[in-house]
A = this chain, B = another copy of it.
Amino acid sequence: MSDLVARTRAFIRDVVIPAEPGWGETLADAALADLRAQAKEAGVHAPHAPREYGGRGLALPEWSPVFQEAGYSLIGPAVLNCMAPDEGNMRLLEVVATDDQKERYLRPLVAGGIRSSFAMTEPHPGAGSDPDALATHAERVDGGWVIRGEKRFISGADGAAFAIVMARTDADGDHPAGATMLLAPLDADGVRIGPGIRTIEAAIAGGHPHVVFDGVFVPDADVLGAPGEGFRYAQVRLGPARLTHCMRWLGLARRAFDTCLDRANGRELFGSRIADLGVAQAMIADSAIDIETSAAIIDRAARVLEDDPRAGAALSSIAKVHCSEAVFRVIDRAVQLCGGDGVSSGLPLIQYLNEVRPFRIYDGSSETHRWAIARRAARARQRETDAGAARLDRVGGPS
């Protein structure tokens, strides 16, 4: 275990868990600020962010064990400032932003003084699973751009200082028509936030409201990267962001697993019916298998992502489906193993289950990913047979 993993582990268990809010409550802003201060002091704050902007500078293949430790507490990722959507935005800014933009947006974001949003999804029939349908438009004006359009399910927007907005732009000089990313303060003229959508999970501060951009001016200095290249940059964010969700939720699954192991070790499973312990063993083993295969596919996808972003994105899609479903199963089994306590306020397990349930839907539902995974597999094989591989489905003569 690396030193940072060990320190993160200790910090979460010694400092963060004792400060967790009760059933149905949320962490107060002041308490969060205080915990973040302690995290900085302990040297565990913003593990993924670049050192020169205040983070610990970990490379992507090393994130997983640290993020899992953070996710062991529902509030851990927020305390360590490695929660969605800020964490994905930090990475995007790190890769794409100018030095000036990094000073103005990345540095305060890593410091934790502000929050941010990523504004891509739109109401039907705009950009959703299919980003090509982008309806929000940014018009070229003197010295900048004017954004018009409506976004929905913009996680964290309520209270965020700025959003990275994806908008359609026309060809402009050397820049092709396409999607462009713009950095827009959310207190700008023309921004309207709300109505919010109430969802069953509560882990992301700032909810998931609609955000309307009604003629919002963004100066040239706040265009993120080159105009027209927005979809390419979105991929930069997408693959890792999927994986960090997996990492954090896997940490929570480990928490739930430890909880039911404590119950099992206390010999009170299913109302202390010793004879049922055997039935429990298969469930415990299945959870161990779910946890380790999740950790393994995350690692594999993270390593590939560094070398080959396209192959890595494909693997991150597989990892997302597997982990989101595995994590749900692990927590569901923990609920079951703790019996009545599992569904009551006495333990946080049923709350965990509600926190992770949407993960099978967010960032592309399991079904959308399965469709894409199947299509990619079929096409890859088609390329092989087109290139001369023998078709294997020819039926031999009867014998």
The answer to whether A336 touches B365, judged by C-beta atoms less than 8 angstroms apart, is yes
Residue numbers in B under 8 Å from A201 (CB-CB): 343
The answer to whether B398 touches A195, judged by C-beta atoms less than 8 angstroms apart, is yes
- Confirm or deny: A353 has a beta carbon within 8 angstroms of a beta carbon on chain B: yes
- Confirm or deny: A279 has a beta carbon within 8 angstroms of a beta carbon on chain B: yes
Q: A281-B278, A369-B285, A371-B273 are in contact. Are A381 and B262 (CB under 8 A)?
A: yes
- Confirm or deny: A340 has a beta carbon within 8 angstroms of a beta carbon on chain B: yes
Residue numbers in B under 8 Å from A2 (CB-CB): none
Residue numbers in B under 8 Å from A28 (CB-CB): none
- Confirm or deny: A173 has a beta carbon within 8 angstroms of a beta carbon on chain B: no
Residue numbers in B under 8 Å from A199 (CB-CB): 340, 343-345
Residue numbers in B under 8 Å from A265 (CB-CB): 378, 381-382, 385
The answer to whether A395 touches B336, judged by C-beta atoms less than 8 angstroms apart, is no
Main secondary structure of the interface of A (DSSP, over half): helix
The answer to whether A393 touches B289, judged by C-beta atoms less than 8 angstroms apart, is no
The answer to whether A395 touches B346, judged by C-beta atoms less than 8 angstroms apart, is yes
The answer to whether B261 touches A124, judged by C-beta atoms less than 8 angstroms apart, is no
Q: A124-B272, A265-B382, A389-B13 are in contact. Are A373 and B288 (CB under 8 A)?
A: yes
The answer to whether B368 touches A285, judged by C-beta atoms less than 8 angstroms apart, is no
Q: A255-B392, A343-B200 are in contact. Are A336 and B361 (CB under 8 A)?
A: yes
Beta-carbon nearest neighbor of A262 in chain B: B393
- Confirm or deny: A99 has a beta carbon within 8 angstroms of a beta carbon on chain B: no
Residue numbers in B under 8 Å from A266 (CB-CB): 391, 393
Which among A124, A277, A315, A393 has the greatest number of chain B C-beta atoms within 10 A? Answer: A393
Residue numbers in B under 8 Å from A128 (CB-CB): 271-272
Q: Smallest Cβ distance from A29 to chain B, in angstroms?
A: 22
Jot down 9 A-B pairs with beta carbons below 8 A, ordered by A: A261-B378, A264-B378, A266-B391, A278-B279, A285-B377, A289-B318, A293-B296, A336-B360, A339-B361
> What are the 6 closest A-B residue pairs judged by CB atoms, nearest first?
A278-B278, A285-B370, A346-B395, A198-B345, A296-B296, A128-B271
